[in-house]
Amino acid sequence: MKNIDMNPYQPYRKMGLSCELREIKEKRVIWPLINQIDPNNPNFRLRTVTRNDLEEVAELWRASYPEVYGSVHEWILDPQEYEKRVAFAENWKEHSVTRPNAMFVGEDLQAGKIVMSSIYTKWNRNLHVEASFIAIHPDARKGKIASSIWSNLASFYKWLEESGAEYVTVFCETWHNITQYIWFKRLGWKIAGIFPGNFTRWAGGNNEYRGCTIHFYRLINDGIRYTNQPEEWSLIPEVKELWDCLEKINAKSTEEGLKE
């Protein structure tokens, strides 16, 4: 925290009347270290990435999520980029605090292959974790391994609570609706909005377009206590109408995938 004298200034309007306030202190999210064999499938392990995995994982991203080529997210296709961003299992004590990205992979132990990868981004001072990317290798989709992946991810989101995060988000691409379904119906997250043209995405060859993403959120830990409520948001009528509509739709979000 910078030592800036804020005494001469004041916020635009007194806010935070509909929630609790707290003293500003140093805030941080600490990535959990994951290494778990699926209790229902001894052939599947979810674990934190190591440096030995980098070539294999980058290849998985290239085969499974090539749409990020040419975009702000292109770094996930290039293992050299991981070195300064990603938290590695072998440096956990330091990296779990300092690295902005965590990568958890799913391993098919029988085949000795990484079949899934997922990337998370954190903003310590906002106690925010974004579930940024998930991909299952095309050969492992829709089978026994795929269902292990989803049940293990659900337990991962429970571990996230221990990281100290209080606001978690995800953006879902719109070339299919599978992840929208999973986050909304299985993991109980709420729709924050529809972002047309949000990210550039690869269209094959040397072409790109701007794709639409759907954004979801969830407040965990004590996040809700410090979140101000609609009664103190200043909204134009159309935005208020949109909020009421969103709330009606978000009431349909369910946690099918979090039941033991």
Ligand X SMILES: CC(C)(COP(=O)(O)OP(=O)(O)OC[C@H]1O[C@@H](n2cnc3c(N)ncnc32)[C@H](O)[C@@H]1OP(=O)(O)O)[C@@H](O)C(=O)NCCC(=O)NCCS
151 binds ligand X (CB under 6 A): no
Q: Residues binding ligand X: what is the number (CB under 6 A)? A: 16
Q: Are 183 and 172 in contact (CB under 8 A)?
A: yes
Instruction: List the one residue from 76, 102, 119, 136 that touches ligand X (CB under 6 A).
Output: 136
- The full length of the chain comes to 260
Report in angstroms how near the CB of residue 52 gets to ligand X at its nearest. 22
For ligand X, which stretch binds (CB under 6 A), given 86-94, 96-104, 133-141, 201-209? 133-141
Of residues 161-180, which lie at the interface with ligand X (CB under 6 A)?
Answer: 172-173, 177-179
Dihedral angle, C-alpha 20, 233, 127, 157, nearest 10 °: 100
Find the angle CA(97)-CA(103)-CA(106) to the nearest 5 degrees: 140
71 binds ligand X (CB under 6 A): no
Sign of CA dihedral 51, 38, 164, 181: positive
118 binds ligand X (CB under 6 A): no
The neighbour count for residue 167, using CB atoms within 10 Å, is 20
135 binds ligand X (CB under 6 A): yes
152 binds ligand X (CB under 6 A): no
The 3-state DSSP class for residue 120 equals strand
Token pair for 123: 């903003």
Instruction: List the one residue from 60, 89, 105, 134 that touches ligand X (CB under 6 A).
Output: 134
For ligand X, which stretch binds (CB under 6 A), given 17-25, 140-148, 161-169, 219-227? 140-148
Q: Which of 169, 172, 170, 168 is nearest to 213 (CA)?
A: 172
Q: Which is nearer to ligand X, 117 or 163 (CB)?
A: 117
Q: Which is nearer to ligand X, 19 or 146 (CB)?
A: 146
Q: Which of 185, 189, 193 is nearest to 239 (CA)?
A: 193
> d(Cα 94, Cα 217) in Å, to the nearest integer?
28
Q: Which is nearer to ligand X, 47 or 141 (CB)?
A: 141
Q: Which is nearer to ligand X, 2 or 142 (CB)?
A: 142
Binding positions for ligand X, rule: CB under 6 A: 64-65, 134-136, 141-142, 146-147, 172-173, 177-179, 181-182
